[in-house]
Amino acid sequence: MSSPGTSSPCKLAADPRRGLANYLRFLWRGHRATDGNGWFYAWMTLLTAVGLVGLNAWAVQIRDGMVVTAMSDHVSWGLYIANFTFMVGLAAGGVMMVIPAYLYHDEEMHDVVIVGEMLAIAAIVMCIGFVVVDLGRPDRAWHMIPGVGVFNWPLSMLTWDVIVLNGYLLLNLHICGYLLYMRFLGRRPNPRWYVPFVFVSIVWAISIHTVTAFLYCGLGGRPFWNTALLAPRFLASAFVSGPAFIIIGLQILRRVAGVRMSDKPLSILTNIMRVTILINLLMVVSEVFTEFYSGTSHTAAARYLYFGLHGAHGLVPWIWMSVVFNVVAAVLILRPGVVAHKRQLTLVCVLAFVAVWIEKGMGLIIPGFIPSTMHELVEYSPSLIEWQIMAGIWALGLLVYTIALKVGLPVLTAPRSAKH
């Protein structure tokens, strides 16, 4: 990744003892790849406005209680947990950048992998946000603090989820922070301080989504989730949504921020999506066959999801939109030369991203509660407050991601010093 007309930050860090102060001066001067142009300020203003709307909606929810949402005793997990599930996959998808960069020693992917690590950080921040708003009374979260409350580890799958998510966040913060600071100082990073963490992050990324899947499929009273394919499906869809979002981000950096890069990272990510999107579709077909061919009473949730049940069909448009988007994206991405057609590639990534968001969100969480364990059929449709809070948390995550890119790109796009 490079940008014209830049001066190396390494000159500013000649004295390592003043490295942080010099780095802040470097950021203050600005950089062509991330300067404060009109697009940047408009984007940040939009995200701030949406975030404030979500913050106000959350204040209303705290004041009036969870009654302002559409959740009930019948459907106790709604839009918040649906987005949480998707965000865990988005965070795990960042590992797809790490594998070609470090396992196969692809030098061109080393700079781009930082973009994926930053995405993982922003996604975990959003995961935490969705869990907090779903608590209803976040001030009672102290009950899970070890030593103060009852963490209930290792018996509770929820505590495992807390550990792996926070551990993954710390891993990515360390890797990004260390690599960026060493690049700024003009030094070669010491492999002992980041390579072991990189390989741990690969396993950890898989674990965060596997543990989340176990959290669902371990609930015996929810037959819709009781499938051994849930964890593999989570991973396959994560390795679709993660690369899709990164491809869209790299395209935006190219067009808006003026960052120059080769097509090789896009080609690698596209090839990953070509495989994972087909695997994900195969698993969906396998699940649908198992549900409908057996014809038992446990297929009621699947019938409600795909065709409606006893006049209730609130999720039918959602899931069929996901199916159509998945199939269209799979057909388009298999076409040769799709990387050269940037608009078509962007369309494919948008379709795949939205399809996975529906499939792992509204198409997975909600049917698990409909019909209920008492065979009652109570539909769920998110309230305006829930949509506003969801938008606010997405805006917060995108703000974190944008600021991370703003801080990191001046270092990544600067010419490498001779010490490298």
Tokens of 70: 């559409």
Query: Any idea what DSSP says for residue 102?
Result: I
What confidence tens digit (pLDDT) does each residue in 223-272 have?
A: 888 888 889 999 999 999 999 998 998 888 888 766 777 778 888 889 88
Which of 1-5, 23-27, 99-103 has maximum average pLDDT?
Answer: 99-103
For residue 10, give Cα distances in angstroms to 30, 307, 389.
15, 61, 42
Are the C-beta atoms of 223 and 373 separated by less than 8 Å? Answer: no
Q: Which CATH class is domain 9-412?
A: mainly alpha
What confidence tens digit (pLDDT) does each residue in 358-417 have?
A: 998 889 999 999 888 788 888 899 999 999 999 999 999 999 999 888 887 766 655 544
Q: What are phi and psi of 152, to 5 degrees?
A: 60, 45
Are the C-beta atoms of 338 and 332 separated by less than 8 Å? Answer: yes
The string of DSSP letters for 342-382 reads HHHHHHHHHHHHHHHHHHHTTTTTGGGGSS-TTS-------
Residue 322 has pLDDT above 90, yes or no: yes
Closest listed residue to residue 209, CA positions, set 97, 366, 95, 80: 95
Give the separation between CA 398 and CA 416, rounded to whole angstroms.
Answer: 28
Break the chain into its structural domains and give their ranges.
Answer: 9-412
SS3 state of residue 312: strand
Query: Any idea what DSSP says for residue 309?
Result: B
| Global confidence as pTM | 0.85
Are the C-beta atoms of 92 and 205 separated by less than 8 Å? Answer: yes
Give the separation between CA 16 and CA 22, rounded to whole angstroms.
Answer: 9
Closest listed residue to residue 184, CA positions, set 5, 17, 26, 2: 26
What confidence tens digit (pLDDT) does each residue in 129-152 have?
A: 999 999 888 888 888 777 787 887
Residue 49: band (very low, low, confident or very high) from pLDDT cuts 50, 70, 90: very high
Q: Which residues contact 196 (CB under 8 A, 6 or more apart)?
A: none
- Alpha-carbon dihedral angle through residues 28, 31, 33, 36, given to the nearest 10 degrees: 50
